[in-house]
Amino acid sequence: GAVVSQHPSWVICKSGTSVKIECRSLDFQATTMFWYRQFPKQSLMLMATSNEGSKATYEQGVEKDKFLINHASLTLSTLTVTSAHPEDSSFYICSASGYNNSPLHFGNGTRLTVT
């Protein structure tokens, strides 16, 4: 089946630094990728929709200057958490979709801890 690789799986960074998370579709072309944030024992909250070759579409309440999304190719989307603060600590997970009735294919997620 389709594989999405997300890296890193976990990262610890100091407050004020930036962190980049990569999401790659390994065996299919993903024109659209989605970035989610998840707090413990809660649902996935859609942050933004990443479209190859164009600007990402952010959900209401998500700061686009803080969560920079780049989708430069059909197989790679990146999420950069800029000037991270402890409240940005969370589980971030990306997904990509094929066409029509195919399900979302998820990366394994990135656990970000900001100290």
User: Which spans of this chain sit near another protein (rule: CB under 8 A)?
Assistant: 31-32, 34, 41-44, 46, 49, 91, 93, 95, 97-106, 108-109, 111
- Of 32 and 80, the one with the shorter C-beta distance to another protein is 32
Rg (CA), the chain: 13
- Of 16 and 59, the one with the shorter C-beta distance to another protein is 59
Least separation in angstroms between CB 103 and another protein: 4
- Of 14 and 99, the one with the shorter C-beta distance to another protein is 99
Strand partners, 70: 78
Least separation in angstroms between CB 106 and another protein: 4
Least separation in angstroms between CB 101 and another protein: 6
